[in-house]
Amino acid sequence: MADQGQPLRLPLAVSPENRDETANKDAKIINGFIEQVSQDETWVYKRPGIAVRTATAPGAGRGIYNWGGDIYAVVNGALWKNGVQIGAIVDDGLPVAFTGMLGSTPKLFFKNSASAYTYDPTNGLVHVTSAGYPTATAYGHAYLDGTVYVSQNPCTIRGSGINDVSTWDALNAIQAQIEPDTVYALNKQLVYVVAFKQWSVEVFYDAGNSTGSPLGPVQGAKVNVGCRAGASIQEIEGTLFWVSQSRTGSVSVYLMDNLKAQQISTPAIDRLLEAADFSVVYSWNAKIYGHRFYVLTLKNSNLTLAYDLQSNRWYQWTDPNGNYMPYVGSTYSQAQEPLLLHESNGNIYVFDDLYYGDDGVPFLVEITTPNFDGGTRKRKFMKSVDFVADQMNGNVMTIQKSDDDYQTWSMPREVNLGKLRPRLINFGTFRRRAFRIRHRRNYPLRIKAVELQIELGTL
């Protein structure tokens, strides 16, 4: 422990440290993220807020996509373009995935598990009714060299005509059969079709076959973990992210970059995932504030987790009521603003650091520290706490302490961040202590540390 005459600086850039499958104890950051300015300087920021960009008819949101500079969304059993309804589709209650197609008339292709459609301004909304198109498909698809590929249970990958999804040759099919497990989702990385299966991942390339499927397997690219939920898959600047599962029972988050897969979830995050309900899964991504985020929501576990690619850190994000974030997907505007589609009201929202609440309602930022004992279990007296944070008139937060391993918390004490030196005195005695800082104001927040003035006792 430092000299009692010198304050001890306690950093607030913490990572999740939940000791079990709940997030009720131990360190975490809620509705924030970390930015490392230098080796010795790391700040905690409040996450960006959310505001309505385009309103549609109230109803379930299924997917969103920017095609040709226009924003398309599937909401309330219909396709919408820039907030105007185009036409009705079959809604199977599952997420919708989109891609653009080339050809003499470029088209937007989109599908759920039950049906597929194209849209272009000349021909309008067209239901894909070819006899060769599967009646049920896995999540997602892949567009490669003019062909759209979809997966038919259990492990058949079928391809369309060249830039023509009205034709599906029965011979244009290949089995993903390195392992005998079911395909859960299709996606693309670089010039490869990636099949996410129950217990494994297989990769295919355009082999240029003159008959049958153009695809051939990339034997050395097999991954020995599978996919827990197809809707967890996100592509961020060529990198794929998904929730994996394996025959050993482990559930983790992986990324694939240049066909190389690696785990990015920590043991603490894995504990949350292993106990979670995956019956309803949403995911989205956003690049903002110089950070890239992969965001995963497990609705029936009331949990949204965000991974920051810049800091390799995990956070928990919530809505203003402390529940999961209710957004089913994302795309980008022409100005490169992240746009999010709401799961139930059908509105399209912009995710932007100009806003300090969600739809005008402030959300709670919470920083919970690990237990601190100063390197000794002797009794200590905390004379004062200083707060190293940005100064802003009218900005207020609270702090609480727990001296019994997160079981109970003291009454909150208010901290005025408008003061030149935000400081509180007389924090009592303790052997080990955790802090909980909370902020719910229509203001930004950037905080680095708390400085503790401590006197060491004799017992």
Give percent of the chain with pLDDT exceeding 90: 93
Residue 305's pLDDT band (cuts 50, 70, 90): very high
Check whether 418 has a pLDDT greater than 70: yes
Check whether 375 has a pLDDT greater than 60: yes
d(CA 89, CA 68): 21
- Strand, helix or coil for residue 219: helix
Rounded to 5 degrees, what are φ and ψ at 271? -60, -40
User: Within 13 Å and on the Cβ side, how many CA atoms surround 107?
Assistant: 25
Place of tokens 């990636």: 194
Q: What is the pLDDT of residue 32?
A: 98
Q: What is the mean pLDDT of residues 338-365?
A: 96
Range in 64-68, 122-126, 364-368, 375-379 the model is least confident about: 375-379
DSSP state of 223: B
Give percent of the chain with pLDDT exceeding 70: 99
> What CATH number does domain 8-31+366-456 carry, 3.40.50, 2.60.40, 2.60.120, 3.30.420?
2.60.120
d(CA 76, CA 100): 22
Whole-prediction pTM value? Answer: 0.95
Q: Which residues contact 407 (CB under 8 A, 6 or more apart)?
A: none
- State both tokens at 378: 């002797």
d(CA 324, CA 376): 39
Q: What is the pLDDT of residue 1?
A: 56
- Strand, helix or coil for residue 102: coil
Buried-exposed string 281-313: b where 16+ CB fall within 10 A, e elsewhere: bbbbbbbbbebbbbbbbbbebebbbbbbbebeb
Tens of pLDDT along 306-326? Answer: 999 999 999 999 999 999 999
Tens of pLDDT along 33-92? Answer: 999 988 889 999 999 999 999 988 889 999 999 999 999 999 999 999 999 999 999 999
8 Å CB contact between 235 and 179: no
Mean pLDDT of the chain: 95
Q: What is the pLDDT of residue 38?
A: 85
- State both tokens at 313: 């850190």
Q: What is the pLDDT of residue 3?
A: 54
Check whether 250 has a pLDDT greater than 80: yes
Q: Where are the beta strands (DSSP E) in 153-290?
A: 156-159, 173-175, 183-189, 192-197, 201-206, 215-217, 234-236, 239-245, 251-257, 260-263, 281-288
d(CA 20, CA 187): 33
Buried-exposed string 322-344: b where 16+ CB fall within 10 A, e elsewhere: eebbbbbbbbbeeeebbbbbbbe
Buried-exposed string 428-444: b where 16+ CB fall within 10 A, e elsewhere: eebebbbbbbbbbbebb
Tens of pLDDT along 188-241? Answer: 999 999 999 999 999 999 999 989 999 999 988 999 999 999 999 999 999 999
Percent helix, percent strand, percent coil in the chain, to nearest 5: 5, 50, 45
Q: Measured between alpha carbons, how far is residue 418 from residues 167, 330, 387, 441 in Å? A: 66, 36, 11, 13
Q: Which residues contact 30 (CB under 8 A, 6 or more apart)?
A: 315, 316, 317, 318, 364, 365, 366, 367
For residue 99, which amino acid is it? T
Check whether 4 has a pLDDT greater than 70: no
Buried-exposed string 194-216: b where 16+ CB fall within 10 A, e elsewhere: bbbbbbbbbbbbbeeeeeebbbe
8 Å CB contact between 305 and 295: yes
My answer on whether omega of the bond before 154 falls inside 30° of 0, hence cis, is yes
